Amino acid sequence: MDEESVLAEAFARVLHEQWKRHRQLSTHGFDEAVLRAIGEDAAGLAVSNLSWHLALGECVTAQSLAAQWHRAAEEIVGEVESGHLVGLVGRHEVFLPLWQFAQPAPGNRLSETVARILEVFRTGLDDLFSPDTVVLWAATPQPELEDQEPRKVLSKVSPEELEWSARVTVARLAQ
């Protein structure tokens, strides 16, 4: 089964289950155009979620990281929002890509190189800073890195090269 079929099957199954639980919906008599618009919106959301999943790569949730670090999840979320950790704030959870940590598993600290990169984004973008920007930069091939994704070359190129690539991106975004 291809990806689209798996997604459609899961969506149809859950929609059917939810529809049965919320019987009042079927007695309302929704306009067909409204139902189509909502269905199209749901499809757009699913594709958006898949795109962010690709951009994040392998990740850990804020709840899980908080338990490993013996801290409150709110602290982890605060560090993502303030630009001291890389993460994506979703509707129900915050997701943090594993590439940012010093070890393959989250361990107890952020990679020093990633800390430097985050500093570039935070200070260079100031009020325009968003954790999403760093996630997208890391997942996008960068010309300064021979068209490689920063997240894939963190341990292969010098911290200075990565920092330079971040500075170039920040300069473009700040214009």
User: What are the pLDDT digits (tens) for 105-164?
Assistant: 556 688 999 999 999 999 999 999 999 999 999 999 999 999 999 999 998 999 999 999
Does the pLDDT at position 63 exceed 90? yes
Give residue 97's pLDDT.
93
Closest CA to 166 of 145, 84, 78, 152: 145
Question: Residue 8: what residue type?
Answer: A
Which contacts of 126-135 are long-range, i.e. CB under 8 A and separated by 24 or more positions?
A: 128/173, 128/174, 129/83, 131/80, 131/81, 131/83, 131/85, 131/86, 131/87, 131/88, 131/89, 132/88, 133/173, 134/83, 134/86, 135/52, 135/55, 135/56, 135/86, 135/87, 135/88, 135/97
For residues 162 and 43, the model is more confident at 162
**pLDDT greater than 90 at residue 103:** no
Q: What is the pLDDT of residue 134?
A: 95
Helix (H, G, I), strand (E, B) or coil at 160: helix
- Structure token digits, residue 152: 């894939």
Q: What is the percent of the chain where pLDDT is above 70?
A: 97
Query: Which pLDDT does position 150 carry in this prediction?
Result: 97
The H or E element containing residue 125 is helix 112-125
Supply the pLDDT for residue 3.
Answer: 87
Mean pLDDT of 9-24: 85
- Residue 122 is predicted with a pLDDT of 95
How high is the pLDDT of residue 171? Answer: 96
Read off the pLDDT band of 47 (50, 70, 90).
confident
For tokens 């306009």, what's the residue?
31
Closest CA to 151 of 68, 83, 56, 85: 56
